[in-house]
Amino acid sequence: MKQLVLDFPLQLQEALIIGKNHRFITQPRQFSNIVVTGLGGSGIGGSIVQNYVFDKLNVPFVVNKDYSLPAFVGKDTLVIACSYSGNTEETLMALQQAKKKRATIICVTSGGKVAEFAGAKKLDCILVPAGMPPRSCLGYSLVQLLSILNHFGLIPGNFDREIKAAIKLLKTNSADIQKKASVLAKKMFGKLPIIYSAAALEGVAVRFRQQINENSKLLAWHGAIPEMNHNELVGWRDDASDKVVIILRDQDDFSRVQARMEIGKKIAKKYNPTILEIYSEGKTYWERVFYLIHLTDWVSVFLADLRGVDATEVRVIDYLKGELAKVK
Ligand SMILES: O=P(O)(O)OC[C@H]1O[C@](O)(CO)[C@@H](O)[C@@H]1O
């Protein structure tokens, strides 16, 4: 897993080339709404892109992490089905539903049944290299999502400049990022992680939580500000010395959100959690987002080392799928 994290900037580089070389069957057209459907490491790219397009698209952009699609999906919907393995049953079922509903479909996968379905139905299918754990391939899926949105004129073509700048930033600061991540992992070790971010970066916070779950084999939770100020905050009442709060911060966090973070820190401090803050680095949006993703990916693998667990295996998910296969 460490090698895959280390190679993340190279993956982004390759992802840009894959996106550029893809010849779309579907010609640019307008849609009434867009749905990205995918689970876990293959769906999180959708959540991160959803944050990005929030103030850019004038049509709804929905991320679906279930077997069935929203009722509004129809012939004016763009459905992007993301499954790295191509074999996730929820995504396959949603994909079949999208076809029935006559949506425009684009698949992003490394193969499996999704690629077979796309081939049989002559759908656009962007193929990425196979053989890795899906969560380590976020670079491939996220860049393809941007490239698809760009193909339909939904986001400007210069997104790749920002990705290139992010690649440079991650490569240049590789040693420093690893050093920071190692320090953070040591401070987090032995405690329950609680990740907070602005709502505008919730996708990145969820990614961090899921990487802690899958790589570090640890329960964790996340909350977005301002929403957690209206409920979860009240739960801060008991000793929290067994917890570590990690706040993901960005220069573009809305000023009122920044003020809420400062006040929230004061409230949490009363209960003695360890409080850590991770500031994004970089000039542009994608530099800063990829910086946070990469740094927190490193944290999750260093935390796995400290906990003496194998970051790659997900045996319990395999067990669940085995049991599920027995259910008719
Ligand atoms: O790329 P896929 O196979 O759709 O996987 C998505 C998610 O499913 C899992 O493979 C487990 O079922 C996760 O590890 C992964 O994040």
Task: Express each pLDDT in 27-48 by its tens digit.
Answer: 999 999 999 999 999 999 999 9
d(CA 174, CA 78): 37
Same domain, 149 and 217: no
pLDDT at 105: 98
CA of residue 110 to ligand 1 center, whole Å: 12
- Here the tokens at position 271 are 């209960």
Same domain, 132 and 187: no
Q: Of 138, 157, 176, which one is at a domain's C-terminal end? A: 157
pLDDT at 328: 82
Tell whether 236 is covered by a domain: yes
Question: What is the extent of the structural domain holding 19?
Answer: 2-157
Whether ligand 1 lies within 6 angstroms of the CB of 39 is answered as yes
d(CA 192, CA 212): 10
Q: Of 157, 190, 209, which one is at a domain's C-terminal end? A: 157
Tell whether 319 is covered by a domain: no
CA of residue 198 to ligand 1 center, whole Å: 26
pLDDT at 156: 86
Q: Closest residue (by CA) to atom 10 of ligand 1? A: 134
Number of domains within the chain: 2
pLDDT in tens, 195-208: 999 999 999 999 99
pLDDT in tens, 69-91: 999 999 999 999 999 999 999 99
Whether ligand 1 lies within 6 angstroms of the CB of 83 is answered as yes
Same domain, 136 and 111: yes
Tell whether 202 is covered by a domain: yes
Same domain, 170 and 133: no
* Closest ligand 1 atom, residue 214 Cα: 14
DSSP 296-325: HHHHHHHHHHHHT--SS--HHHHHHHHHHH
User: What residues pair up with 64 in beta bridges, in sequence order?
Assistant: 37
Same domain, 174 and 243: yes
Tell whether 261 is covered by a domain: yes
Tell whether 323 is covered by a domain: no
Write down the ipTM of this complex.
Answer: 0.94
Whether ligand 1 lies within 6 angstroms of the CB of 193 is answered as no
Tell whether 316 is covered by a domain: no
Tell whether 318 is covered by a domain: no
Q: Of 124, 157, 190, which one is at a domain's C-terminal end? A: 157
Whether ligand 1 lies within 6 angstroms of the CB of 37 is answered as no
* Closest ligand 1 atom, residue 85 Cα: 3
In what order do the strands lie in the sheet containing 33-37? 61-64, 33-37, 77-83, 104-109, 124-127
CA of residue 69 to ligand 1 center, whole Å: 18
Triad 211, 217, 223: Cα angle to 5° = 50
Query: Of 90, 162, 214, 287, which one is the catalytic site residue?
Result: 214
Positive or negative, the CA dihedral 37, 298, 301, 218 is negative
pLDDT in tens, 213-247: 999 999 999 999 999 999 999 999 999 999 999 99
CA of residue 153 to ligand 1 center, whole Å: 29
Same domain, 150 and 204: no
Same domain, 52 and 171: no
* CATH number where 10 lies: 3.40.50.10490
pLDDT at 55: 94
Whether ligand 1 lies within 6 angstroms of the CB of 317 is answered as yes
Sites in the chain below the pLDDT cut of 70: none
Same domain, 186 and 94: no
Cα-to-chain-centroid distance, residue 139: 9
* Closest ligand 1 atom, residue 321 Cα: 12
Q: Phi, psi (5° rounding) for residue 65?
A: -125, 50
Same domain, 194 and 251: yes
pLDDT at 218: 98
- Here the tokens at position 61 are 């952009």
